[in-house]
């Protein structure tokens, strides 16, 4: 037994005699079947994230209990790291509490019927302290703009739908072609000739019927870019072409929205997060890297260059990962870092990116220069 593990009987004694607070750290649906008498229900994720909110005084005597003793122990360790000195964990958890014949109570039925679908669908997120109920609700409130329902957009949109993002605005004016199917896994053979946004909506709704999907069959231009970015928390560039990339970058800087950039060619991919709009002079924008697109003809023709089908899958999923981290505000985003992926060598490499103090777009104090519609010379 760990030095701060105690028996169920000792937990009961401490609550009754020393006034310790017994906290059941299991998820709400687990507590529904019954809790140790006198316990307060606070799910582990919420307790670890918001300990100070629940227990202002770090000297509070706390006794944590879960199902079998593992989660309460981890939660106790986490609270101890945050300065809570009097935290114990019940060895064997609620199962041992019951086995020893100690009293149980059923929680009061909630005032509102519980959303079973929500709890079941995201149970594996709810178990993560970094996500938990708070993070999952945050995702449910989020709106993501997915520019392009192609090779990058397919895996990204699938995982955002699966993760519980509340609303996805998908912008793509193309129809599905047979040559797309090698990498654009949102679409099936039966969708050839169908608008990509319609095919994407059907597939994503089938995966997560709770997600609102705003399917926009338009080409992104300087005229509609700000309308399409309205109310959006994160933008994912899944278009992988210069005119769209510069428009998205410029609009994201102007409107203060993080842009998750991804690009693929043959066997190589790149990912980064451009967040200069919210971090002027600290985080770079795409123009800090490449002030202007190369002249038409200088870049290889994408349709001739070819791409290994799985490559945009890897890059799109890295983009989805970054988008979820930004929405949840967890971890370390790829801000100011360019990640290169070499599929043939199976290597990741990282380059530091710093903001260009002379950037015509994002340098502090620079006035917005206006949008530019570059000629399309390479469609994603
Ligand atoms: Zn810049």
| pLDDT at res. 299 | 64
| pLDDT at res. 302 | 52
Are 64 and 162 in the same domain? no
Distance from chain centroid for Cα 54: 26
CA distances from residue 161 to 118, 146, 311 in whole angstroms, order as listed: 13, 12, 21
CB atoms within 10 A of CB 37: 14
Smallest Cα–Cα separation from 338: which of 270, 252, 269? 270
Residue 120 lies in a domain: no
Smallest Cα–Cα separation from 228: which of 211, 214, 241, 242? 214
Helix H or strand E segment including 375: none
**Distance in Å, CA 40 to ligand 1 centroid:** 50
Residue 358 lies in a domain: no
Are 42 and 153 in the same domain? no
Are 175 and 281 in the same domain? yes
Looking at residue 198, which CATH number applies to its domain? Answer: 3.40.50.720
Top-confidence residue, 159 or 3: 159
285, 249 Cβ separation under 8 angstroms: yes
* CA-based torsion, 294, 358, 252, 153: positive or negative: positive
**Distance in Å, CA 319 to ligand 1 centroid:** 20
Percent of all residues in the chain with a pLDDT value above 90, rounded to a whole number: 82
Q: What are the two backbone dihedrals, phi and then psi, of residue 170, each rounded to the nearest 5 degrees? A: -105, 125
With 50 as the cut, is the pLDDT of residue 349 above it? yes
Are 219 and 334 in the same domain? yes
CB atoms within 10 A of CB 33: 11
Rounded to the nearest 10°, the torsion over CA 166, 193, 147, 245 is 180
Q: In the chain, at which residue ranges do the beta strands (DSSP E only) sit?
A: 5-6, 21-24, 35-36, 40-41, 62-65, 87-90, 104-105, 143-147, 167-171, 212-216, 234-237, 259-265, 268-274, 337-342, 347-352
Smallest Cα–Cα separation from 151: which of 262, 235, 272? 262
Are 76 and 192 in the same domain? no
Rounded average pLDDT over 5-23: 94
Binning pLDDT at 50, 70 and 90, where does residue 110 land?
A: low
Residue 85 lies in a domain: yes
**Distance in Å, CA 356 to ligand 1 centroid:** 6
Residue 379 lies in a domain: no
Residue 366 lies in a domain: no
Q: In what order do the strands lie in the sheet with 143-147?
A: 212-216, 167-171, 143-147, 234-237, 259-265, 268-274, 337-342, 347-352
| pLDDT at res. 144 | 98
**Distance in Å, CA 355 to ligand 1 centroid:** 6
With 90 as the cut, is the pLDDT of residue 241 above it? no
**Distance in Å, CA 283 to ligand 1 centroid:** 8
| pLDDT at res. 368 | 95
With 80 as the cut, is the pLDDT of residue 279 above it? yes
Are 247 and 330 in the same domain? yes
302, 359, 362, 378: which one is catalytic?
302
Residue 96 lies in a domain: yes
**Distance of alpha carbon 15 from alpha carbon 21, whole angstroms:** 6
Chain length of the chain? 380
Looking at residue 59, which CATH number applies to its domain? Answer: 3.40.250.10
How confident is the prediction for the chain on average, in pLDDT? 93
- Does 302 participate in catalysis according to the annotation? yes
Are 345 and 219 in the same domain? yes
Are 222 and 94 in the same domain? no
With 70 as the cut, is the pLDDT of residue 309 above it? yes
Residue with tokens 């699938």: 158
Q: Is 357 helix (H, G, I), strand (E, B) or coil?
A: coil
Rounded average pLDDT over 217-238: 97
Among residues 114, 132, 156, which one ends one of the domains? Answer: 114
| pLDDT at res. 379 | 45
What domain range is 78 assigned to? Answer: 5-114
**Distance in Å, CA 147 to ligand 1 centroid:** 21
**Distance of alpha carbon 48 from alpha carbon 42, whole angstroms:** 10
**Distance in Å, CA 292 to ligand 1 centroid:** 11
With 80 as the cut, is the pLDDT of residue 109 above it? no
| pLDDT at res. 56 | 87
**Distance in Å, CA 363 to ligand 1 centroid:** 6
* CA-based torsion, 49, 55, 61, 63: positive or negative: negative
pLDDT 10s digits, 149-202: 999 999 999 999 999 999 999 999 999 999 999 999 999 999 999 999 999 999
DSSP state of 241: S
Residue 371 lies in a domain: no
Residue 315 lies in a domain: yes
11, 39 Cβ separation under 8 angstroms: no
Are 101 and 171 in the same domain? no
With 70 as the cut, is the pLDDT of residue 276 above it? yes
| pLDDT at res. 301 | 52
**Distance of alpha carbon 376 from alpha carbon 274, whole angstroms:** 22
Binning pLDDT at 50, 70 and 90, where does residue 380 land?
A: very low
**Distance of alpha carbon 131 from alpha carbon 44, whole angstroms:** 11
| pLDDT at res. 304 | 62
Are 288 and 167 in the same domain? yes
pLDDT 10s digits, 24-48: 999 988 898 899 999 999 999 889 9
**Distance of alpha carbon 162 from alpha carbon 87, whole angstroms:** 36
CB atoms within 10 A of CB 119: 17
Which residues, in sequence order, are CB contacts of 71 under 8 Å at separation 6+? 25, 26, 44
Look at the chain and report how many structural domains it folds into: 2
| pLDDT at res. 2 | 77
| pLDDT at res. 131 | 93
**Distance of alpha carbon 63 from alpha carbon 192, whole angstroms:** 60
Q: Which residues surround ligand 1, an ion (CB under 5 A)?
A: 285, 287-288, 359, 361-362
Are 103 and 160 in the same domain? no
**Distance in Å, CA 223 to ligand 1 centroid:** 22
Are 150 and 96 in the same domain? no
Top-confidence residue, 380 or 21: 21
CA distances from residue 293 to 236, 249, 290, 307, 331 in whole angstroms, order as listed: 19, 12, 7, 21, 32
Pair type for strands 62-65 and 21-24 = parallel
């Amino acid at each position: 037994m760990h030095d701060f593990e105690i028996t169920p009987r000792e937990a009961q004694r401490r609550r009754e005699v020393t006034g310790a607070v017994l906290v059941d750290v299991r998820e709400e649906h687990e507590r529904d079947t019954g809790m140790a008498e006198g316990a307060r229900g606070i799910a582990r994720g919420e307790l670890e994230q918001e300990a100070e909110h629940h227990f202002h005084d770090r000297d509070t005597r706390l006794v944590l209990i879960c199902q079998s003793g593992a989660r309460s122990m981890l939660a106790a360790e986490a609270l101890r790291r945050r300065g809570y000195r009097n935290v114990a964990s019940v060895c064997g958890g609620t199962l041992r509490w019951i086995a020893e014949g100690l009293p149980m109570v059923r929680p009061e039925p909630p005032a509102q019927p519980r959303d079973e679908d929500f709890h079941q669908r995201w149970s594996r997120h709810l178990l993560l302290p970094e996500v938990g109920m708070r993070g999952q609700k945050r995702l449910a409130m989020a709106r993501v703009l997915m520019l392009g329902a192609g090779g990058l957009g397919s895996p990204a949109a699938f995982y955002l739908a699966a993760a519980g993002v509340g609303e996805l605005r998908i912008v793509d004016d193309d129809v599905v072609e047979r040559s797309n199917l090698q990498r654009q896994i949102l679409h099936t053979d039966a969708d050839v000739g169908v608008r990509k946004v319609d095919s994407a909506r059907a597939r994503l709704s089938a995966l997560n019927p709770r997600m609102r999907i705003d399917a926009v069959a338009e080409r992104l231009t300087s005229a509609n870019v700000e309308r399409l970015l309205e109310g959006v928390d994160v933008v994912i560039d899944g278009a992988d072409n210069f005119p769209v990339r510069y428009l998205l970058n410029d609009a994201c800087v102007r409107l203060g929205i993080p842009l998750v950039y991804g690009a693929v060619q043959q066997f190589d991919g790149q990912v980064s997060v451009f967040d200069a709009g919210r971090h002027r002079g600290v985080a770079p924008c795409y123009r800090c890297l490449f002030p202007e697109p190369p002249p038409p003809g200088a870049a290889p023709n994408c349709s001739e260059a070819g791409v290994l089908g799985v490559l945009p899958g890897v890059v799109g999923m890295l983009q989805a990962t970054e988008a979820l981290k930004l929405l949840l505000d967890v971890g370390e985003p790829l801000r100011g870092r360019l990640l290169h992926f070499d599929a043939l060598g199976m290597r990741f490499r990282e380059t530091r990116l710093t903001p260009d103090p002379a950037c015509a777009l994002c340098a502090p104090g620079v006035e917005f220069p206006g949008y530019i519609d570059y000629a399309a010379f390479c469609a994603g």
